Amino acid sequence: MSEKYFIKTFGCQMNVYDSSRIADMLKNEGYEETLKQQDADIVLFNTCHIREKAAEKLFSDLGRAHLIQLERLETGKRTIIGVVGCVVQAEDAQIIKRAPFVNFALGPLMYHKIPEMLREIKQNKKSESVVNTEFPAESKFDYLPENRAQGACSFLAIQEGCNNFCTYCVVPYTRGVEYSRPVADVLKEARRLLDTGTLEINLLGQNVNSYHGEDENGKERDLAYLLHRVAELDGIKRIRYTTSYPADMNDDLIACHKDIAVLMPYLHLPIQSGSDRILKAMNRRHTAGDYLRIVEKLKKANPNIGMSSDFIVGFPDETDEDFQKTLDVVNEVKYIQAFSFKYSRRAGTPAAVMPNQVEEKIKKERLEILQNLLFDYQTKFNLSCVGKIIPVLLEQKGRHKDQLIGRTPYMQNLHVETNSANMNKIINVKVVEATTNSLSGKEI
């Protein structure tokens, strides 16, 4: 019987993608996946460091994993515990100090080393825990086995790292400087995903629209070029790209929203704050006005586009007037979805030591006000879909028999009664009901 692995993933879509690549790598090595941690010979935690308590959550999960490791040992079974991802990059050897039962810890750019690490641990060549947080010169992507579809919707990382250094953010420190994969590599991975059942590809990067990969002739190409190339692939039904930085939205990329039929009419474009004073302190290279002008151009390119964003409330020195400017942007753009967070002090970032840190109570109040407003717009948008016929990509089983859950072009979840053979297909659905978080409809 083959050995089993269990992976728990925290955080962003990049981590979900990384976990899927790790899973492919382990399957290639002959391991089998299990969803039960108790049955796993290898337990991996893919961690996130973007906001507070991520490290604390990890250590409590590790505590539980240690108990299971000890229980299994009583019946003669060995459990290898590994930690990968951004917390490793930030905490480094601290992880092993606090959790000495962890066998290995690798930063986000080193996970192609996992099979080698497992082999060495199993041959007892490495009895001590290993930590590796290098930023290697070679790209991890060159060392990974070919990617298989993760279902009808798959992520594909085209870019990693960030050079923007927003003053609140740990990403440039945990994921390193920007790296763009060559065009040919991206197309090869996209082809393989389409050949193994994917219909929708979401091109990923921490700063995806600053993509500048080399083409087949060694020429640097931007995201607009890459989108056209991916859109030409046989069998592709939907394309998305996440996450974009406002200052990198060039006119060619905006034009893609008019010219590429399979590019979904939805864009996640974080603004973070509506106050120019705060945006400056955040080291963002755009003002609220710049952002609104980009949204206007996008709406001109595709009048049906739906916008999404990230917001931070309670950044150091944020006043009520600054916060009101954030609400003004929300009222102007009318986001159809959004993510909002209380500012979280991250050690080592410039904002962590800025004066006038905002009290927790005020952060909480502002977050509630902002989220209520965002939910109102989201609900209004969902209600406006009632009566419309929408193509839905079915990708999950629902709770009831014959119910499937799918995704609309606008990333809404939609429940529909339909033949289960329609799983992983796109069908047309008439929307009959809507709430803040989902839609339901009838197959037509």
Pattern of binders to ligand SF4 over 234-263, x per CB under 6 A?
A: -----------x------------------
Q: Which does 164 bind (CB under 5 to 8 A by kind): ligand SF4, ligand 5AD, none?
A: ligand SF4
Q: Which does 343 bind (CB under 5 to 8 A by kind): ligand SF4, ligand 5AD, none?
A: ligand 5AD
Q: Does 154 bind ligand SF4 (CB under 6 A)?
A: no
Sign of CA dihedral 162, 165, 170, 174: positive
Residue-wise DSSP of 105-131: EE-TT-GGGHHHHHHHHHTTS--S-EE
Q: Which does 172 bind (CB under 5 to 8 A by kind): ligand SF4, ligand 5AD, none?
A: ligand SF4
Whole-angstrom Cα distance, residue 265 to residue 254? 11
Which structure tokens are listed for 403?
Answer: 């119910």
Q: Does 224 bind ligand SF4 (CB under 6 A)?
A: no
DSSP 8-state symbol, 273: -
Beta strands in 316-409 (DSSP E): 337-342, 389-397, 403-407
Stretch that binds ligand SF4, among 95-103, 141-149, 160-168, 177-185 (CB under 6 A): 160-168
The tokens 């009048």 sit on which residue? 303
Question: What's at 443, amino acid-wise?
Answer: E
| Pick from 69, 76, 10, 71: nearest CA to 42 | 69
Bond before 243 cis per omega within 30 degrees:
yes
Q: Which does 206 bind (CB under 5 to 8 A by kind): ligand 5AD, ligand SF4, none?
A: ligand SF4
Contact 411, 395 (CB under 8 A): no
> By CB under 6 A, what part of segment 412-441 binds ligand SF4?
none
Instruction: Please return the burial class of 434, using the count of CB atoms within 10 Å of its CB with bins 0-12, 13-18 and 19+.
Output: buried
Q: Which does 15 bind (CB under 5 to 8 A by kind): ligand SF4, ligand 5AD, none?
A: none
Applying CB under 6 A, what is the total number of residues that bind ligand SF4?
10
Rounded least distance, CB 51 to ligand 5AD, Å: 5
Contact 152, 198 (CB under 8 A): yes
Q: Does 206 bind ligand SF4 (CB under 6 A)?
A: yes
Q: How many CA atoms lie within 13 A of 237 on its CB side?
A: 20
Helix or strand (DSSP H, E) at 179: strand 179-180
Which structure tokens are listed for 75?
Answer: 């019946």
Q: Which does 312 bind (CB under 5 to 8 A by kind): ligand 5AD, ligand SF4, none?
A: ligand 5AD
Q: What would you report as the CA-atom Rg of the chain, rounded to the nearest whole angstrom?
A: 23
Q: Does 162 bind ligand SF4 (CB under 6 A)?
A: yes
Rounded least distance, CB 297 to ligand 5AD, Å: 21
Using CB atoms, what's the residue nearest to ligand 5AD?
310
Rounded least distance, CB 10 to ligand 5AD, Å: 13
Whole-angstrom Cα distance, residue 132 to residue 149? 29
Q: Give the one residue of 156, 169, 269, 427 binding ligand SF4; rule: CB under 6 A.
A: 169
Stretch that binds ligand SF4, among 95-103, 112-120, 164-172, 221-229 (CB under 6 A): 164-172
Residues that bind ligand 5AD (CB under 6 A): 50-51, 168-169, 270, 272, 310, 312, 341, 343-344, 346
Whole-angstrom Cα distance, residue 142 to residue 150? 20
Rounded least distance, CB 140 to ligand SF4, Å: 18
Nearer to ligand 5AD, 221 or 346 (CB): 346
In the complex, which residues of this chain contact ligand SF4 (CB under 6 A)?
A: 162, 164-166, 169, 171-172, 206-207, 245
